[in-house]
Amino acid sequence: MSEKQKQVEKERRGVLELLLQKNGLKRKELVDFLLGVWVAGKLDELTEQEKAQFPNLVF
């Protein structure tokens, strides 16, 4: 990785941390939320039989 790329990555992490702080979020909370959004967007890939494996969830 070039020095420029390392600096960009460092700044990207800094912006993420600053935004998390300003919004009162922890990294795990953001990851959990985004995983939920991703799963919700992929539910159409599951068959009814596969969905039946998760009786406590509403699809």
- Give me the torsion for CA of 45, 36, 53, 57, rounded to 10°: -120
Which two three-digit tokens encode residue 55? 């009786």
SS3 state at 20? helix
pLDDT recorded at residue 17: 98
Determine which of 40-44, 46-50, 55-59 has the lowest per-residue pLDDT on average: 55-59
The answer, yes or no, to whether residue 28 has pLDDT greater than 90, is yes
pTM of this prediction exceeds 0.75 = no
Cα distance between residue 3 and residue 28, in whole Å: 29
pLDDT recorded at residue 58: 87
pLDDT recorded at residue 23: 98
pLDDT recorded at residue 59: 85
Q: Per-residue pLDDT averaged across 19-30, rounded?
A: 98
